[in-house]
């Protein structure tokens, strides 16, 4: 129950209004949609690896070295100097263009990060990676330290399979963008979970089913 957040706060900039953001994350909330899309396009056209360093962050964001290193640090689990590009892009999508809270549009943009064939569908493995990256991104944004380890990964992996099962899909088939959007509308957005705090809370609850069971 401690992971449940109140829904009484206004949902601005992708997080609850009471949430304190780091300077870098705060700045991204002022980025217009065109800049968010430009960053995603720069990453795709640069054909960069999943693991990126601060120089790649400079290239795709236009940041100076200090700001690029700071954004990298905010997404770092260790001192390797390499972070997950998809996780960084999810953070930018979730926080940017804060004047226009189109959560379906954000979900579609996040889906597209894993849609390498550009046919609006991804595999179960790709959905799993996407969910893991979403969880990591939101933990970094909210500065939730226990969300930065890998202990909850097996449960998130199982959660991806449950989404497939609820849609009556074989695990060997692909899930379409429309199917994931409709599933999220029905099971997540309908309950008012449309900001980073609430969405992370949902993932945290899924990853700690034993706590839920004790309450019952």
Q: 163-191: per-residue pLDDT in tens?
A: 999 999 999 999 999 999 999 988 887 66
Which residues are registered as beta bridge partners of 83?
A: 52
List of long-range contacts for 4-8, beta carbons under 8 Å, 24+ apart:
4/201, 4/205, 5/197, 5/198, 5/201, 7/192, 7/198
> Dihedral of the CA atoms 147, 131, 75, 141 (nearest 10)?
-70
The model's confidence at residue 4, banded by pLDDT at 50, 70 and 90, is: very low
Tokens of 165: 């099962």
Query: What per-residue confidence (pLDDT) applies to 17?
Result: 58
Query: What per-residue confidence (pLDDT) applies to 170?
Result: 96
The model's confidence at residue 146, banded by pLDDT at 50, 70 and 90, is: low
pLDDT at 42 over 90: yes
pLDDT at 9 over 70: no
Query: What per-residue confidence (pLDDT) applies to 45?
Result: 94
Query: What per-residue confidence (pLDDT) applies to 204?
Result: 66
Q: 51-52 and 121-123 as β-strands: parallel, antiparallel, unpaired? A: unpaired
Q: pLDDT for 60-92, tens place per residue?
A: 999 999 999 999 999 998 889 999 999 999 999
The model's confidence at residue 156, banded by pLDDT at 50, 70 and 90, is: confident
63 SS3 class: coil
pTM reported for the whole predicted model: 0.83
């Amino acid at each position: 129950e401690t992971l449940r957040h109140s829904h009484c706060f206004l949902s601005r900039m992708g997080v609850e209004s009471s949430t304190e953001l780091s300077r870098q994350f705060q700045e991204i909330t002022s980025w217009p949609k065109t800049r968010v899309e430009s960053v995603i396009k720069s990453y795709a056209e640069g054909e960069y690896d999943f693991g990126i360093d601060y120089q790649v962050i400079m290239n795709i964001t236009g940041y100076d070295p200090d700001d690029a290193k700071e954004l990298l640090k905010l997404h770092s689990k260790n001192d390797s100097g390499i972070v997950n590009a998809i996780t960084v892009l999810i953070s930018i999508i979730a926080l940017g263009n804060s004047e226009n809270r189109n959560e379906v549009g954000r979900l579609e943009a996040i889906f597209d990060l894993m849609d390498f064939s550009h046919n609006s569908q991804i595999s179960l493995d790709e959905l799993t990676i996407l969910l893991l990256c979403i969880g990591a991104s939101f933990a970094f944004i909210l500065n939730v330290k226990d969300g930065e380890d890998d202990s909850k990964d097996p449960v998130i992996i199982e959660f991806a399979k449950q989404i497939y099962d609820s849609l009556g899909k074989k695990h060997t088939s692909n899930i379409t963008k429309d199917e994931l959007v409709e599933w999220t509308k029905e099971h997540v957005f309908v309950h008012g979970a449309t900001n980073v705090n609430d969405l992370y809370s949902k993932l945290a609850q899924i990853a700690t089913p034993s706590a839920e069971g004790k309450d019952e």
